[in-house]
Amino acid sequence: MSASNAQVDLARVAAAKGGNWRPLPLISNRNLRWGLNLAVLIYIVLVYYSVDINWARVAQGMDRAINFVSSFFTPDFVTRGGEIAVGLRESLTMTFVATVIGIALAIPVGLGAARNIAPRPVYFFCRTIIALSRTFQEIIIAILFVAMFGFGPLAGVFTLAFATIGFMAKLLAEDIEDAQNEPLEAIRATGAGWLQWINYAVQPQVMPRLIGLSLYRLDINFRESAVIGIVGAGGIGATLNTSINRYDYDTSAAVLLTIIGIVLMSEYLSGYVRKWTA
């Protein structure tokens, strides 16, 4: 600890003895602390001058905001019930197919991206795939895939599967890197082949986490499927977007409540499945 910090500490102790105790600051370096405060202040000023807000327009929109919030108390599942049902079925099937394909592809990539079991060139190749897949939002990928494969749920399936690869492979690779080394050595010492080695030494160690993550990704993919429909990749997002553009907030509220309900259900279910497989 530097001299100035020790002095500060002495001052704190003296103040505390005088009955004036103060908690330790979160950032111990004084200059860094004040520098950060100053930087935040300058940033706030800069942002204040670079963002110009049209308050008149905001005030105008308050009617609609109130309409939207109140529509959550009168959601309309019936009038556009058919469209909601079709969108929902498409979203759910798209999500499931994409998650399965994505995980099936993510497992080899994840194995290749684990430093402790993959050779160097394979490692770098797989890490590049992961970085590419993780940087771009699903919606950007969806725009490209819609341009390539045309409108419809297939573009959505490819988008979600591509995003799943980056997510699952990264977490799987980290889990494999954290795996205990002893079982890996033990199985290798029996003369097992590469596949047997993966199957009996690596897989049992990562399986519980892999199942948990798969369920979590299924949940994420469902939520994302509501978004990529906006750019024409199928699913409930298209229904939602149409209803918002028509200012038909009662239907929008119905769609949003359906999404929230399904996410809640899947969260509850995944807790149950995780308990059951662990």
Q: For another protein, which residue of 150, 178, 180, 186 counts as binding (CB under 8 A)?
A: 150
226 binds another protein (CB under 8 A): yes
Q: Which residue in 227, 241, 233 sits closest to 142, CA to CA? A: 233
Q: Considering the complex, state which of residue 20 and residue 119 has its C-beta at the smaller distance from another protein.
A: 20
Report residue 65: phi and psi, to 5°: -60, -45
The residue to which tokens 């300058």 are assigned: 42
CB neighbours of 274 closer than 8 A, spacing ≥ 6?
208, 211, 212, 215
In one letter, which amino acid is 160? L
The CA angle 233-260-170, to the nearest 5 degrees, is: 60
CB neighbours of 5 closer than 8 A, spacing ≥ 6?
28, 29, 30
216 binds another protein (CB under 8 A): no
The CA angle 160-219-209, to the nearest 5 degrees, is: 100
Window contacting another protein (CB under 8 A); options: 1-9, 115-123, 184-192, 241-249: 241-249
Q: Which residue in 238, 222, 260, 233 sits closest to 86, CA to CA? A: 238
227 binds another protein (CB under 8 A): yes
Cα gap 18→87, rounded to integer Å:
69
60 binds another protein (CB under 8 A): yes
Window contacting another protein (CB under 8 A); options: 11-19, 178-186, 207-215, 220-228: 220-228
Q: For another protein, which residue of 2, 5, 14, 64 counts as binding (CB under 8 A)?
A: 64
Structure tokens that stand for 136 in this block = 């771009």
Provide the mask over 67-106, with x wherever binding to another protein is found by CB under 8 A and - wherever it is not. -x--------------------xx-xxx-xx--x------
Residues that bind another protein (CB under 8 A): 23, 26, 43, 47, 50-51, 53-54, 57-58, 60-62, 64-65, 68, 89-90, 92-94, 96-97, 100, 131, 135-137, 139-140, 143-144, 147-150, 152-154, 157, 200, 223-224, 226-227, 230-231, 234, 237, 240-241, 244-245, 247, 252, 256, 259-260, 263-264, 267
